[in-house]
Amino acid sequence: MRKIVARYRFTWITLGGLFILEIVNPHLGERAVVTIGYSLREMLLVIPPTFLLIGLIDVWVPKETIIRLMGKGSGLRGIILALLLGSLAAGPLYAAFPVVAVLVKKGTSFRNVVVLLGAWSTTKIPMFLFEITSLGSRFAYIRLVLSILGIILISMVLERVIDNREKEDILQSLASF
């Protein structure tokens, strides 16, 4: 019981914030509750396939396959695969971390992890389609191209900035999750 309280500390703090909002401004508080309910429902609707795929990869895909496809020597193919995986998966960015965890456990390289997270946050396909309809295809395509270039650049810079020992630590903490 105490464990659960401790694990959900962050949740309790935000709920405290919600409670304060409710007291200070009940009207806004009520709208916040409605919004939270809506996003929870939306999230629980979108998220299951992503986690099913995590389980499936975990149990069925052999480590050698992932190493070959997304490991250290995977080169351009690894980058493209990471971009595609990140753009195709569903769920908010925080759903990306468990996906990354299982991929790291199977031998995905540090750089491809960074690429996948970058793609997950900026080049999601449903979001891209939506961007086209609301901001026009010129805006959307230019941003897509710049985002992809940015993601690859970031992954290369991080690859250099973070030293090997720290990379190992990061990958380990990701995988042990």
Partner 1 sequence: MDLFTLVLYGLALGFLLFSWIRDRSRTKETLRRAWKAFENILPQLFGVVVLVGIMLVVLSPATIGRFLGRESGLRGVMFAAVVGAITLIPGFVAFPLAAMLLRHGAGYMQMGAFISTLMMVGVITAPIEVKYFGRRMTFFAMAWRSSTLSWSL
- The footprint of partner 1 on residues 74-103 (CB under 8 A) is 88-90, 92-95, 97-98, 100-102
Q: Taking CB under 8 A as the rule, does residue 62 contact partner 1?
A: no
Interacting residues with partner 1 between 96 and 155 (CB under 8 A): 97-98, 100-102, 114, 118, 121-122, 124-127, 130-131, 134-135, 139, 143, 146-147, 149-150, 153-154
User: Minimum Å distance from CB 38 to partner 1?
Assistant: 8
Chain center to CA of 73: 23
Measured distance CA(98)–CA(94) in Å, rounded: 8
Q: Are 96 and 64 in contact (CB under 8 A)?
A: no
- Between the two ends of the chain, the Cα-to-Cα distance in Å is 21
Judged by CB under 8 A, which stretch of 43-51, 63-71, 76-84 contacts partner 1?
A: 43-51
Q: Taking CB under 8 A as the rule, does residue 67 contact partner 1?
A: no
Q: Are 105 and 175 in contact (CB under 8 A)?
A: yes
